[in-house]
Structure 1
Amino acid sequence: MNILIVDDDRTNLFIMAAIVRRLDDADPVTMESPLAAMEWLRGNEPDLILLDQMMPDMDGMDLLRHIRGESRLDGVPVVMITANTAVDIRVRALDEGCNDFLTKPVVVPEVQARLRNLLALRQSRALLRDRAALLAAEVERVTAALQRQGEELVTRLSRASEYRDPETGAHIERMALYSKLIAEAAGCGGAYAQDLRKAAPMHDIGKIGIPDMILLKPGRLSPEEMTVMRQHAAIGHRILANSDIPLLRLAAEIALSHHEKFDGTGYPNGLAADAIPLSGRIVAIADVFDALTSTRPYKRSWTMEEAQAYMVENRGRHFDPALLDAFLSRWDEVCTIRRENADELSEPLPEQA
């Protein structure tokens, strides 16, 4: 451990350096000039500093103020060595951040005892600081691992839902990218937009609870069948709700609310305007737009212009006006997402012998 000694008297420097060398694992760094000490401190951090109070050019009090003005040196103990026994000098020094005093002429055993105590305190603080840094790094590592596990779980559940949902994986990818795009365009922040991108694919997970005769029906559903189909929002919410994983909680919110409409005519709870969670209002736009521009057993794929006109027509009714405006303001990027994530053409099955 390095101990900086600043004293304009060479004899005092020699004596204090000799005392420091008797300490275990301590090396003295001696400076006759406070200005030279200031220069040395710009690139070094000692473990303890001994200052003479009375020095030319700059006294110990001024040097102490300089040291305490450097946040990097906040934790370094400073001991003032003085022949002045006046109380006001000690009070001023304490106010400026001095940790201890030594009175001239010094008593060697006292000096050694005080320095040992301060060095032990310095070492303990360093260990605590290092331990805090290690704990912070470990917390960050575990948090990142949990985040990755949550993302993997969401991905795997999304894949599982694809086996029952007739909609393609490309639809899920597109609507997730649209959702992220809307969030970014609306100024929601990068972290939220990324989370939305990861959670949006879970929006229709509840369809795994819908009977095949309804879910896979090639034509339009009857009113009774539609009532059953609409249960998928609540089913999805029940599957995902109350998780300790934030991403799953967001996915649960989306599953329950993405069929709500801005004017309150949606399902399952008939929520309106800002009562609908932000995530649900965003995913509603992304999901409907991609459904319109995708081929279904009961409908042709709409052109981008036709879908855009429909969305505008339903601004303020089905869709949040501000969020829809944000979506349309990034139309070039919408077209890019559509083009780069097009549905794969399905190949005909080979004829059976």
Structure 2
Amino acid sequence: MSNPLDFTEKHTVLVVDDTPDNLSLMSGLLRAAYKVKLAPNGERALQIAAGEGRPDLILLDIMMPEMDGYEVLRRLQADGATRDIPVIFLTAMSASEDEKIGLDLGAVDYITKPINPAIVLARVHNHLQLKVARDFLRDQNTYLEAEVAKRTEEVIAIQDVTIRAMASLAETRDNETGNHIRRTQFYVKALALHLQPHPRFASELTESAIESLFKSAPLHDIGKVGIPDRILLKPGRLDPDEFEIMKTHTTLGRDAIARAEAELGRTIPFLRYAKEIAYAHQEKWDGSGYPEGLVGDDIPMSARLMAVADVYDALISKRVYKPAFSHDKASDIIREGRGSHFDPDVVDAFLSIHETFRQIAARYSDGEEALIAETERLASDYPTDHVEIKG
């Protein structure tokens, strides 16, 4: 494999001049050290520059008929395939104003006629060295950028798999929840996107924050791995003592994530929302929730989004202690909880996009029966003010 910085490799130089004697002179001067291509006019120069065996450097006369050197350079610069070829103007136009025009257009150097052969060879050599070094650095940067993108993609994939695996630990404890964790991910993201322009939420709901919320949402019930089956799977209402134990899943979940961070010896930014959601998604806007009885905006934004997503999905899902509610019934219950159970603005967002929730529920359904409308029977069997959502 050749060294990319081996400057002894024979490079190709294109000489452009409308005078045959000048082409012959430059060819004789350069051909011992370089492959030389010749063009008698600007049009031919552009064809050679864009064709196979592209030149590594161009020596370009300015005063040519039909298309002068300035126009040739403009066209070279406008073409992505040729814009990186260094151009040295080689001309009898010696005024400083002419030199400035050429350099401003993008030429790398300006040599006046009559030429000094040693000067021409030195400048050609120097600019070819600079081009090789520049191309090498560009290729290295492209390679490094590709490697960084690859590694970043791998890290993201590992994060996603890890979160999914952790969330599944909780889900496997309750085999009737099915795609609950998947649905709540998309509910939370839909709410966040809708609330992104809202004055109360705009500063926090950045694109990266929404992506972190989406990743973190599946961990909201991770603490259920610590709840005994006799309580978690009980087919009926929990008694007060059992409910106190059930409530500890919020703390268990947060502490499990915090311990994982502690073992790594660093705080992981995207797990911030996971800890908030796990710990505070059972808080209620009016302070009647748990574990701390937080009120209003003291409840983390992430937990307020999850509260609506989690309750909606619990309502429409068949559980060991209740049948599935219809979408309309669940929406009514969410509406009635506005300002008491839920952040009013989050409820308003939900009501604005409730059809999106319906579509997400259908896409990740546990089965047809989970979404069957049972409003009439459920209204009598499970009055709104007595609906119990475990955990």
TM-score (norm 1): 0.80
Per-residue CA distance 1:239-264 (angstroms, 9 max, x = gap): 22446655544432321232233444
Farther off after superposition, 176-185 or 141-150:
176-185
CA contact (8 A) 1:261 1:271 kept: yes
* Deviation by residue 1:280-329 (Cα, 9 ceiling, x = unmatched): 23322221122223344444443443322211211343232233224413
Are 1:259 and 2:282 an aligned pair?
A: yes
132, 141, 160: which one pairs with 1:151?
160
1:53-93 Cα shifts (integer Å, max 9, x gaps) = 32223333343344345565443221111234333332333
Task: Answer yes or no: is the 8 Å Cα contact 1:173–1:341 preserved in 2.
Answer: no
State which of 255, 268, 274 in structure 1 corresponds to 2:291. 268
Residue in 1 that maps onto 2:36: 28
- Please list, as runs of the form range in 1=range in 2, the aligned pairs for 1:188-203 lying within 5 A after superposition: 196-203=213-220
Worse-matched range after superposition: 173-182 or 321-330:
173-182
Q: 2:237 aligns with which of 213, 217, 220?
A: 220
The alignment partner of 2:14 has SS state of strand
2:362 pairs with 1:336: yes
How many Å separate the matches in 1 of 2:142 and 2:360? 44
Q: Is the 8 A contact 2:285 2:339 kept in 1?
A: yes
- Note closer, same or farther for the CA distance 1:43–1:190 as it changes in structure 2 (3 Å cut): farther
CA displacement at 1:340 relative to structure 2: 5.3
2:138 to 129, 136, 140: 129
Match of 2:15, SS state, is: strand
Distance in 1 (CA, whole Å) between partners of 2:228 and 2:357 is 37
Shift in alpha-carbon separation, 1:278–1:194, aligned structure 2, 3 A = same
2:331 pairs with one of 302, 308, 314:
308
Task: Give the whole-Å Cα distance in 2 for the aligned partners of 1:152 and 1:19.
Answer: 64
Q: SS of 2:25's equivalent?
A: helix
- CA drift of 1:185 comes to 5.7
Instruction: Map residues 161-240 of structure 1 onto 2, 5 A cutoff.
Output: 161-165=170-174, 168-183=177-192, 196-211=213-228, 214-240=231-257
Q: Which moved more, 1:286-295 or 1:298-307?
A: 298-307
* 8 A Cα contact 2:56 2:86, kept in partner: yes
Evaluate the alpha carbon distance shift between residue 231 and residue 127 of structure 1 in structure 2; reply closer, same or farther with a 3 A threshold: same
Does 1:18 pair with 2:28? yes
Unaligned runs of 5+ in 1: 345-353
Matched residue type, 1:330: T
- Quickly say closer, same or farther: Cα 1:273–1:167, change in 2 above 3 A: farther
C-alpha RMSD over aligned residues? 3.4
Contact 1:289/1:307 (<8 A) preserved = yes
Letter in 1 for 2:219: M
- SS of the residue aligned with 1:106? coil
Deviation (angstroms), 1:146: 1.0
1:268 maps to a residue whose letter is P
Letter in 1 for 2:31: R
Alignment partner, residue 75 of structure 1: 84
Quick one: distance in 1 between partners of 2:101 and 2:295? 66
- In the TM superposition, residue 16 of structure 1 has moved relative to its aligned partner by 1.6
Structure 2 residue 54 is the aligned partner of structure 1 residue 37: no
Aligned to 2:383: none
**Is the 8 Å Cα contact of residues 177 and 317 (structure 2) preserved in structure 1?**
no
Deviation at 1:275, TM superposition (A): 5.2
Identity %: 38
What residue ranges of structure 2 are gaps of 5+ in the alignment? 1-10, 197-204, 371-391
Kindly state the Cα deviation for residue 12 of structure 1 after the two structures are TM-superposed. Answer: 0.9
User: Aligned-pair distance for 1:155?
Assistant: 1.8
Corresponding residue of 2:313: 290
Range that drifts further, 224-233 or 304-313: 224-233
Structure 1: how far apart are the matches of 2:365 and 2:228?
33
Counterparts of 2:105 and 2:32, CA distance in 1: 29
From the superposition, tell whether residues 295 and 103 of structure 1 become closer, same or farther in structure 2 (CA, over 3 Å). closer
Moved more, 59-68 or 10-19: 59-68
Following TM superposition, by how much is the alpha carbon of 1:115 offset from its aligned partner in structure 2, in angstroms?
1.1
Secondary structure at the counterpart of residue 204 of structure 1: helix
**1:64 paired to 2:73:** yes
Aligned length: 342
Corresponding residue to 1:4 among 7, 14, 31: 14
Larger displacement relative to structure 2 (188-197 or 147-156) = 188-197
Q: Does the 8 A contact of 1:182 with 1:326 survive in 2?
A: no
For the structure 1 residues 280 and 20, does the alpha-carbon distance in structure 2 shift closer, same or farther, using more than 3 Å as the test? farther
| Alignment partner, residue 347 of structure 2 | 321
Higher alpha-carbon deviation: 213-222 or 112-121: 213-222
Specify the code of the residue in structure 2 equivalent to 1:333: Q
Q: Does residue 1:55 correspond to 2:78, yes or no? A: no
Shift, 1:132, TM fit: 0.3
> 1:213: Cα distance to partner?
5.6
- The alignment status of 1:91 with 2:108, answered yes or no, reads no
